[in-house]
Chains A and B, each alone.
Chain A
Amino acid sequence: AQSVTQLDSQVPVFEEAPVELRCNYSSSVSVYLFWYVQYPNQGLQLLLKYLSGSTLVKGINGFEAEFNKSQTSFHLRKPSVHISDTAEYFCAVSDSGGSNYKLTFGKGTLLTVNP
C-alpha cells in the first residue's frame, strides 16, 4: 500500500516570497510522483511529474520539485509567488510498474498568497 503525507494543510505567504510545500510518501515499490493544483472552482491541473532521470523537475508557472529517494520526499518550490498562485496543491504517487495505475493523493495544501 502507498501513502502520501502533505505536512502542511495551509501555507500563508506574502507575494514575491519563496514557498516550499512539503510532501513525503511511503511505498514498497518504485513510484512516479506528481504535483497537481486546483484553482478555485476548477479541476485538477498537472503542475509537474517525476518519472525517472534528473531528480529536479521543472513544471509550469515557475514551480519545481526535487525527488529525494532516501528521504522519500518530493517537495514543491517556487522562488517568488504571485497572488494568482493561491490554490490548493496536491501531491500524488502511482506505481511505476505492474498493472496498477491509480494515484494516491495527499490531503492537499492550501496556499494563500497575500499582498
Chain B
Amino acid sequence: EAGVTQFPSHSVIEKGQTVTLRCDPISGHDNLYWYRRVMGKEIKFLLHFVKESKQDESGMPNNRFLAERTGGTYSTLKVQPAELEDSGVYFCASQKDRGYGYTFGSGTRLTVV
C-alpha cells in the first residue's frame, strides 16, 4: 500500500508569509494526526482528525495555525502569518484504528527566516 505522503518536503518562507502543508494519508485510515518537532525538542502532538472531524486540537500552538481535512481524505495545515518560532519539521501520520501503529510521512521541514 502507498504510504503517507507529505509535501512540500522543504519550505523556506519569510516571517509574515503564509505556508500550507499537505498530507495524504493511507487510503482507508480514518485517523490522521499532525505532529511537530522544533529543533532540539521532542516531537509534539498538534491535532487529531477522525475522518473530517477534529477529535483533539489541544496541541495547536495558537490561532495562526489552521488545519482542515477535506472529505476525510487529505489534510492541510496552514500557518498564517508565519513566525520564526514556527520553524521545525511537521510530521503527518495516519492510523487505521487504535492499537495499530501510526504510519508517518517523511515530514515537511519548514524554515521561517
Chain A residues contacting B91 (CB-CB under 8 Å) are: 43-44
Complex CA gap A24/B108 in Å reads: 29
Q: Indicate which residue in A51, A96, A104 contacts B45 across the interface (CB closer than 8 Å).
A: A104
Chain A residues contacting B103 (CB-CB under 8 Å) are: 46
Q: Is the CB of A32 within 8 A of B99?
A: yes
- CB-based nearest A residue for B43: A105
Complex CA gap A77/B59 in Å reads: 31
Q: Is the CB of B48 within 8 A of A43?
A: no
Q: Number of A interface residues, CB 8 Å? A: 23
Chain B residues contacting A32 (CB-CB under 8 Å) are: 99
In B32-66, the 8 Å CB interface with A consists of 33, 35, 41-45, 48, 55-56, 59
Q: Is the CB of A34 within 8 A of B42?
A: no
- CB-based nearest A residue for B56: A102
Q: Is the CB of A101 within 8 A of B107?
A: no
Q: Is the CB of A105 within 8 A of B44?
A: yes
Q: Is the CB of B101 within 8 A of A49?
A: yes
Whether a CB of chain B sits under 8 angstroms from the CB of A99 is: yes
Chain A residues contacting B95 (CB-CB under 8 Å) are: 101
Q: Is the CB of B102 within 8 A of A103?
A: yes
Known: A34-B101, A108-B42. 18 other contacts (CB 8 A): A43-B4, A43-B91, A43-B104, A43-B106, A44-B43, A46-B102, A46-B103, A49-B101, A90-B43, A96-B98, A101-B33, A101-B55, A101-B98, A102-B45, A102-B59, A103-B35, A103-B43, A108-B43
Which 4 pairs show the lowest CB-CB distances between chains A and B?
A43-B106, A44-B104, A46-B101, A105-B43
A-B contact pairs, 13 of them (CB 8 A): A32-B99, A36-B104, A42-B106, A43-B105, A45-B104, A96-B98, A101-B56, A101-B95, A102-B48, A102-B56, A102-B59, A103-B43, A105-B42
